Structure 1
Amino acid sequence: MVVQAKEKKSGIKKHQNRNAQKPLQLSACMIVKNEEEMLPRCLASIKDHVDELVIVDTGSTDRTVEIAESFGARVYHHPWQNDFSLHRNQSISYARGKWIFIIDADEEFVPSEQRTLQDELALAEQKGCDALVMRVRNFASGGTEEVCADSLRIFRNTSTIRYEGIVHNNLAGCTRSGISMGSILHYGYDQGTDMARKKFERTAMLLRKQIAEDPDNPLPHMYLACSHESLEQHREALAEALIAVDLVELREITEITYLRAYYTAMRSLILEKRFDEALELCVKSETRFGDQVDSLAARTMIHFETSDWVGVIESGKRYQRALELYRTRQDKPSLVNVASFMDEWKILGWMGISQVRLGKIEDAQEMFSRSLEISPKPESVCGRAGLALATAGHLDLARYYLEEARRISGGLKDSRAVEALFKIAVLGKDESLAKRSIEDAFSYAETPGDWNRWLLDLADFALNHGDVRSALMMLAGIVASDEYNLPARLKLAHILVFHDMIEQAVTHCDGLLRILDLPRNQTLESLSDLADLFLKIGNELDSRGEPNLAAISRDIQQRLRQQARTPGRQLQ
């Protein structure tokens, strides 16, 4: 049974009150269930732009109906029947307007500054359009990620235009569409892990049912792949996406909507480092759909990951051209989904790194500059630019970008950037920078993980380039934080002995004996006695299968023997 709730007064435009004979122009139609948190924002965003609100409630137990009625909506009650299109069409059946505007409770309408919805409907009438495409901006990860999709949201209220599909319902029956300059903000993908899991379970169940009923339809396979990807189930996403792609290719479908299947498969293949297969999909996509933003973003990433620097620049330029067409809506209306809408800064960064690799430093700096202008993570751009320049030997420029990354982030947060700046300091003999870089290194090493091997490598780099001071600081820091670090103690003792700091070396010799569980009760009366201890340490390390460390210990022993033969040298 259907029950119509009482219609209450609101601020919704009442054209019919001014002219009882004049039909309503625009009806907003919705289906809802337990949407008390998000519904007020949605209704507030549309109430001044439509002539009526029509809502089908499918079983709310919270304040959803009360909120809807407070905005003047006509609410109809239908039990949920696991069929989105059924309920969407029910809402349309109650509409009295000439045009329908579809919106969901977790969305917000943003009107165009250029023209009103009423102006757009008048223009659509003139051009003979029966639908308008509106851009939907889908937010995720706390609003830091955005996926854009063009969607048919406004259409004529006729019996020939209706929704199909039990989930991810698609509008059928439109013959000619125009562009609405308004947009919709969608927050439904940004409601936390638990909500995402519940949404996946509901959606996946309906999609599997649709696949069972129509296995040769690529659409539910594509949407199921997207659902798996939303939970980072990449293998499952790849399997379903490839089925969808094969069906599209078999049936020679050219609808741009299906690009999403190709892109989902590309992303999964890239994550698995199956770059050749991913590139083959890019070619298939471009052959079928032309140059599209997402496929070109994927192609650029593939070239970057495979060190095809020329390919990065060429596909990056094509990506930028396609993105500009999409942003300015210079192309004809198309129901394309753009997941890489906010990735331009990354692609500019990749192009900059590629220019560095090709030796075109001025072009690289231009790319880095453009990336920094739009990047939400400027420290990442600077860090990557600095690393690329350091690898290519442009140390002054590298230092500038790495210092910027440090300044922006309040300290380097990438071990590669810490390492690069330390090496620049060592090579440039900059004691101040080296000291700060060592502090950054130990600060970074406080994070979970085994960082001692990395710190030891930095100490070796300093020692191999003649920076004994930095090597001592690094090794002393390792021992201070881990007194049982045998390699660090041994290398520290080696430096101390070879720089005639014998007393300090004795302390570390005792530490080495303790670590190796060797006798420590010997009284040292000469350098020869100390040399004998390092010989024992070397022999023990050999017996434990550590020939490289044993060689260091014997080198210390030989140095001490030489010093013992020097007249006047004795253990203090």
Structure 2
Amino acid sequence: AAELQRLRAAVDKPFADAYRMTTRNYQPQPTGMGARSVTDEYPEERGMKFWVPTTKIRLFRRKEGVRFEGAVHELVERSVEKLGMNVADLTVPVLHFGDVSKRRDPDRYLEVARRKVAERPDDPKAYFELGTVLNKLRKFEESVEVLTKGLELIEAGHTAPYAQPELFYAARGNALQGLGRYEKAIVDFRRALGLKPNAHEFWNNIGVCYESLGQYDKAAEYYERAHKLAPSLPLPKANLERVRKKIAADVRLSVCMIVKDGEKTLERAIRSVLPFADEVVVVDTGSSDRSVEIARALGAKVGHFRWRNDFAAARNASLQMATGTWIMWLDADDVVPSTEWPKLQELKFQEPDKAFMFILRNEGVAGEKCWQLRMFPNRPGVEFVYPVHEQVTPSLQKLGIPVTTVNVEIVHTGYSSDEVVRAKKEKYLRYLLEYLETNPDDQLARYHVAFTYHTTGRQRQAVGEFRKIVEDPGFEANNPRVHANALLYLGRAYLELGQVEEAISALQRARDKGFERGLVTVSLAQAYNLLKQPEKALEALEDFPFDRIEISPMPVDTDAMRYSAYYQKGLALERLGRIEEALDAYAQAQRATDRYDLARRRMAILRGRLRA
């Protein structure tokens, strides 16, 4: 009632021509600038948790020339100023529930924010609004560029209502933090602090950056200051408690690597783990370059192992040197992106009673992704097996240690050219064949031999080895996924040999197993198209996950697979005379990836026919 009386008085007995009023934007989390806890001051806000203040002119005289400007976050401030109207603050809040009562479409706001920048290229606030939307959409690179442009406009003397430089620095800091550029983000947050020293958000964000860098003492210092500035907010308090637990915890993570002549990539690999690793173990297998020198200079514990064509044996030598609670293994040409550091720091403070599979992304000519087991407890009995494609899974199973997937990405840079990939496959095949001679009943090793034959174009040898696997009922019972993959790639090998009926038989069996759904359905569609059975090809593709291809333990180039699915769909539709639909499918294929031009060529042919 008191607020309504003040509002009525401002209208009946005005002391200004226009009034700035503060909006309480209610939010489920205290993530906005100036976030505050709800105290149930008003009955309407009961059930809300936090609110973020924004101030703008809300009440003004009806006067010719007063108008809203801006495609989004529209304001009357510029027109009020041009008309020389007197503006005052009115201490009556506006309660806004839009962020909690409905889902906002950020893509819609992005389109409008871009239009506002295009219409007002000298308005720094327009750039801030666009940068904020880009941050919400995780388009951090573009956000950094946009916010930098806005700051340049401010420095050049351009003004806009509520265009506060500290907010630009903070928003750009958020974008840099999202990109994993923590040191640069700290610089921006400190610039923001220089302009607004008591903003708890800036202190908290610097703490987050230091925690991401593994500098827990500094993180605690900044979290503590944020908590003192905003004692009622749960986030700074929770961050402070978490980092204090990390400081006190007796937990260590050892990163174990093996290397031979890896001087070109080793330093980058080691530096990429230093913010979360407590120990780096590097076992050299006979380098003649500076690998050992580089490892020692970066503080790694260095060991030596005489190479005997056995990756598992070399990796086990690195495990024996590790003293951490956890072990994570890495190749000398792997990199852990800085965006993944906070995730790994959280994982190592979990109970060491499980193992983790991470996403391995191959960078280079082979653009596949797959799940790969990379982190596990350091326990007696955990060891690698197999001379190539070495694994710890069998030993973990014996110890009863469960395995779970975690959204942490590791980048492998070793497949830099087709020649490098081919040379590695030939070397690995040689090691595997040596192993298989003395272990002829090891069907998992045989699977890797068969798969290498398939990927190097030796399809008849691949068929022979895959058939030995799929005809082994004992192997199917103990390794259902690998058995299903053997059926899949047996079908793929038959396709390469032109034995389409045999391919369909193997692929149908693979489909019934329920694994690798994407590649199975694409392969079946390809087979039916080869047999000129477009209806069956389209029926097979009904099972294809066009919207979201799941990552699996098998390395798969998801863009290439999506391309192939749309291409096979286009072929089937074209054969059925549904030309417009075929053109659309081919266009979808080219949107999936531009590395291939089969679909583009079919489109050109079809359009030529339509014109004729």
Task: Give the TM interval when normalised to the shorter protein.
Answer: 0.5 to 0.7
Gaps of 5+ in 2: 1-211, 219-243
Give the structure 2 partner of residue 173 of structure 1.
395
Give the letter for the 1:267 counterpart: R
Whole-angstrom CA distance in 2 between matches of 1:20 and 1:382: 57
In the TM superposition, what are the counterparts of 1:144-543 in structure 2 within 5 Å? 144-171=365-392, 172-174=394-396, 175-193=401-419, 195-196=420-421, 198-247=423-472, 251-290=476-515, 292-320=517-545, 324=548, 326=550, 335-338=553-556, 342-377=560-595, 379-388=597-606, 395-396=610-611, 424=612
Whole-angstrom CA distance in 1 between matches of 2:447 and 2:557: 15
- Contact 1:47–1:71 at 8 Å: present in 2 too? no
Whole-angstrom CA distance in 1 between matches of 2:277 and 2:497: 48
Structure 1 position 355, deviation (Å): 2.0
SS of the equivalent of 1:135 reads: strand
Structure 1 position 262, deviation (Å): 3.0
- Contact 1:161–1:173 at 8 Å: present in 2 too? yes
Runs of 4+ that moved beyond 6 A: 14-21
Distance change in 2, residues 1:135/1:113 (3 Å): closer
Whole-angstrom CA distance in 1 between matches of 2:527 and 2:373: 32
Distance change in 2, residues 1:353/1:20 (3 Å): closer
Give the letter for the 1:92 counterpart: L
Distance change in 2, residues 1:351/1:230 (3 Å): closer
Distance change in 2, residues 1:58/1:113 (3 Å): closer
| Cα displacement string for residues 9-53 of structure 1 (whole angstroms, at most 9, x for unaligned residues) | xx9958899999853432110111111122223223222232221
- Contact 1:36–1:64 at 8 Å: present in 2 too? yes
Whole-angstrom CA distance in 2 between matches of 1:290 and 1:260: 8
Whole-angstrom CA distance in 2 between matches of 1:214 and 1:56: 27
Give the letter for the 2:568 counterpart: W
Give the structure 1 partner of residue 38 of structure 2.
none
Whole-angstrom CA distance in 2 between matches of 1:135 and 1:382: 31
Structure 1 position 251, deviation (Å): 4.4
Give the structure 1 partner of residue 287 of structure 2.
60
Give the structure 2 partner of residue 87 of structure 1.
314
Give the letter for the 2:255 counterpart: A
Give the letter for the 2:443 counterpart: P
Whole-angstrom CA distance in 1 between matches of 2:252 and 2:559: 33
SS of the equivalent of 1:136 reads: strand
**Which range is displaced more, 68-77 or 347-356?**
347-356
Give the letter for the 2:328 counterpart: F
Choose between structure 1 and 2: higher helix proportion: 1
Q: How many residues align?
A: 370
Distance change in 2, residues 1:387/1:362 (3 Å): closer
- Contact 1:13–1:51 at 8 Å: present in 2 too? no
Q: Residue 361 of structure 2: which of 134, 137, 145 is its match?
A: 137
- Contact 1:352–1:385 at 8 Å: present in 2 too? no
> Given the two structures, how large is their TM-score scaled by the length of structure 1?
0.58
**Which range is displaced more, 259-268 or 301-310?**
259-268
Give the structure 2 partner of residue 34 of structure 1.
261
| Cα displacement string for residues 418-463 of structure 1 (whole angstroms, at most 9, x for unaligned residues) | xxxxxx4xxxxxxxxxxxxxxxxxxxxxxxxxxxxxxxxxxxxxxx
- Contact 2:518–2:549 at 8 Å: present in 1 too? no
- Contact 1:356–1:389 at 8 Å: present in 2 too? no
Whole-angstrom CA distance in 1 between matches of 2:595 and 2:421: 26
Structure 1 position 287, deviation (Å): 2.5
Whole-angstrom CA distance in 1 between matches of 2:480 and 2:524: 21
Give the letter for the 1:181 counterpart: N
Highest CA radius of gyration, 1 or 2? Answer: 1
SS of the equivalent of 1:53 reads: strand
Distance change in 2, residues 1:116/1:208 (3 Å): same
Whole-angstrom CA distance in 2 between matches of 1:199 and 1:291: 25
Give the letter for the 2:377 counterpart: R
Give the letter for the 1:326 counterpart: E
Gaps of 5+ in 1: 1-10, 328-333, 397-423, 425-572
Distance change in 2, residues 1:230/1:25 (3 Å): same
Structure 1 position 292, deviation (Å): 2.3
| Cα displacement string for residues 250-280 of structure 1 (whole angstroms, at most 9, x for unaligned residues) | 6434442444433332222111111111111
**Which range is displaced more, 371-380 or 302-311?**
371-380
Whole-angstrom CA distance in 2 between matches of 1:113 and 1:77: 30
Structure 1 position 134, deviation (Å): 0.9
Whole-angstrom CA distance in 2 between matches of 1:382 and 1:204: 36
**Which range is displaced more, 380-389 or 297-306?**
380-389
| Cα displacement string for residues 388-435 of structure 1 (whole angstroms, at most 9, x for unaligned residues) | 566xxx513xxxxxxxxxxxxxxxxxxxxxxxxxxx4xxxxxxxxxxx
- Contact 1:211–1:220 at 8 Å: present in 2 too? yes
SS of the equivalent of 1:36 reads: coil
- Contact 2:255–2:330 at 8 Å: present in 1 too? yes
Structure 1 position 231, deviation (Å): 3.1
Whole-angstrom CA distance in 1 between matches of 2:278 and 2:217: 9
Distance change in 2, residues 1:169/1:270 (3 Å): same
Give the structure 2 partner of residue 50 of structure 1.
277
**Which range is displaced more, 65-74 or 235-244?**
235-244
Structure 1 position 165, deviation (Å): 1.7
- Contact 1:256–1:335 at 8 Å: present in 2 too? no
SS of the equivalent of 1:241 reads: helix
Give the letter for the 2:545 counterpart: Q
Structure 1 position 89, deviation (Å): 1.5
SS of the equivalent of 1:55 reads: strand
Structure 1 position 94, deviation (Å): 1.4
Distance change in 2, residues 1:201/1:342 (3 Å): closer
- Contact 1:53–1:72 at 8 Å: present in 2 too? yes
- Contact 2:251–2:348 at 8 Å: present in 1 too? no
Structure 1 position 209, deviation (Å): 2.7
